[in-house]
Amino acid sequence: MSSSKDHAALAEQFNKNEERVDWHDETLWWIGQKRDKATHGILEWEQLRETASQIKHNVLANLSEYLVQFEQNLKAME
């Protein structure tokens, strides 16, 4: 597993390549614009986003139980 020092060193190296940084920034901007355009067409976007966030937090809080359940269901299929 990489440490934060590894990440910091890699980020520093990445940032030295101005062309790559510009490409990265432009790509993130383009993705953000696409997302914004798509979300404006969904009236209940914020509610859906909040619901998805709650589901994510529930899954992470109960991950060990879900993994045990998954394993049990997988073994039952054998």
Q: How far is Cα 36 from Cα 54, in angstroms, rounded to an integer?
A: 21
- Give residue-wise pLDDT tens across range 30-39: 999 999 999 9
Please return the burial class of 38, using the count of CB atoms within 10 Å of its CB with bins 0-12, 13-18 and 19+.
Answer: exposed
DSSP codes joined into one string, 10-37: HHHHHHT-HHHHHHHHHHHHHHHHHHHH
- What's the mean pLDDT when you consider all of the chain? 92
Q: What is the pTM of this model?
A: 0.54
| Cα separation values, 38 from 4, 13, 34, 59, 71, Å | 35, 34, 6, 26, 37
Domain positions in the chain are 1-41, 43-78
